[in-house]
Amino acid sequence: MLRHEQLLKVRDALRQKGTVAKWPLRWGEYALLPAEKDWLINEDAYRAKWPQLMSSPRFAPPPAANAEQASSQATALWRGRWLRGLTLAQTWSALDLSAGSGIDTWGMESAGARVTAVEPDAYLAELLRWNGAEPNRIVVQAPAEEQSFAPDQYDVVYADPSRRSERGRLPLNDLGSPDPLKHLQTWQQWAPHVVLKLSPMLDVEQVARWFPGAESLTYLSTHREVKELVVHLPRTRTSPLRVFAVAVDDEGTELVRWTSDPQRTAERATAVGTYLYDPDSVLVAARGAASWAAHHGLKGLHPDSRLYTADELHAVPGCRVFRVDAVHTSLPTHLTEASVVCRAFPERADVLRKRLKLGESSERFLVATQLSRAAGYRYLEATRIA
């Protein structure tokens, strides 16, 4: 599947002959395997997404189309540790019903799991076997819907339904294949814990209606981008549904964990304070931003802005913090460079930045927003301090 030493020699030779975009024109000069071609063309993107895996000379990456849909290293490692916590065991067994590129399988194996990986595509199944030789994973090349296992054969059944078809991406309310709405009861016979990875664009209330037995919904983000929704469906629920917002670093270590309380709201600000707080988008997705702000003594601006303010500087995890330098009621034209943020504002940030001819800045910001529904627009000059 992949010959690392030969691959590095080919890469060095190709670099002397032209840009990466032209390398496929020279494939005929080298006896390359499919995974080696994928490695060469997409090396930088793969290293950014899976640095640990790409450091292994044995790792054969999936095709770019599959890699695009696969989990990042950060989310796969976090999920593996979290799943191990459900089992309360150092070594545990997992059934991955949608193994695909194998990144989630690897994340579980990194946390001590012995994994049976189910994948219908012949080439991806071959990759799963190659990459899983050392942890001795079991690979089943067949559709998940055709599988049958013994009761309690596994500690965890994991599924990341594919939401792509020959017609393209499925609508949000179609959970994809294998369909957990159809097969959940069967999966719960195979393991005491069923865990689903779903789109983070799904609403809490909708998911709760689909899965009334869910014990937790966890919205997961990295680098302030919400990546997935993890649904825990134990065979026997022991506590009411809880909704979590979790942000992780590149190694899957938690930076923020917040239990959402949709009933709690933050006090509304009557003026912009000395400091501005911009919560991680995962807090917004999990409907936890308002309770998070109230807990930390922050007041909200316009309800659609997702921005909070205070006159005191609070050490608050899970947000960007700005010092407000000036508040304008009309668009300031004296700025030469600033990052632009638009919230509860009719124009996009890139449009506003182009109009003002602003250079980019990582410290200076122009925030266009509203203070309340009745008030006009405000333009905040701000400096990022955290």
Across residues 195-205, what is the average pLDDT?
A: 96
Is the Cβ–Cβ distance between 74 and 252 less than 8 Å? yes
The domain that holds 225 is classified in CATH as 3.40.50.150
Span 359-373, pLDDT tens digits: 999 999 999 999 887
Total domains present in the chain: 3
Residue 38 and residue 158 in one domain:
no
Q: How far apart are CA 58 and CA 56, in angstroms?
A: 5
Across residues 155-165, what is the average pLDDT?
A: 89
Q: Look at residue 140 and give its three-state secondary structure.
A: strand
What's the confidence (pLDDT) of residue 248? 98
Residue 36 reports pLDDT greater than 90:
yes
What's the confidence (pLDDT) of residue 145? 96
**% pLDDT > 90, the chain:** 91
Q: How far apart are CA 100 and CA 29, in angstroms?
A: 31
Residue 163 reports pLDDT greater than 80:
no
Cis omega (within 30 of 0) for bond into 317: no
Range of the domain at 58: 4-68
Is the Cβ–Cβ distance between 278 and 294 less than 8 Å? no
What's the confidence (pLDDT) of residue 166? 58
Burial class (CB in 10 A: 0-12, 13-18, 19+), 271: exposed
Residue 174 reports pLDDT greater than 90:
no
Is 373 among the domain residues? yes
Across residues 274-278, what is the average pLDDT?
A: 98
Is 269 among the domain residues? no
What's the confidence (pLDDT) of residue 168? 66
Residue 238 and residue 347 in one domain:
no
What's the confidence (pLDDT) of residue 173? 76
Residue 304 and residue 364 in one domain:
yes
Residue 221 and residue 87 in one domain:
yes
What's the confidence (pLDDT) of residue 373? 73
pLDDT-derived band at 374, boundaries 50, 70, 90:
confident
**% pLDDT > 70, the chain:** 99
Across residues 83-111, what is the average pLDDT?
A: 96
Across residues 109-128, what is the average pLDDT?
A: 98
pLDDT-derived band at 177, boundaries 50, 70, 90:
very high
Looking at the chain, list the stretches that DSSP marks H as alpha helix, in order from N- to C-terminal side. Answer: 4-15, 34-49, 51-54, 64-69, 73-87, 103-110, 122-131, 180-190, 204-210, 281-285, 289-295, 349-356
Residue 232 and residue 308 in one domain:
no
CA atoms within 13 A on the CB side of 241: 18
Residue 239 and residue 330 in one domain:
no
Measure CA of the first residue to CA of the last residue in the chain; give whole Å: 45
Q: How far apart are CA 302 and CA 373, in angstroms?
A: 6
Residue 296 reports pLDDT greater than 70:
yes
pLDDT-derived band at 217, boundaries 50, 70, 90:
very high
Is 10 among the domain residues? yes
The mean pLDDT of the chain is 95
pLDDT-derived band at 162, boundaries 50, 70, 90:
confident
pLDDT-derived band at 165, boundaries 50, 70, 90:
low
Q: How far apart are CA 73 and CA 106, in angstroms?
A: 9
Q: How far apart are CA 343 and CA 341, in angstroms?
A: 7
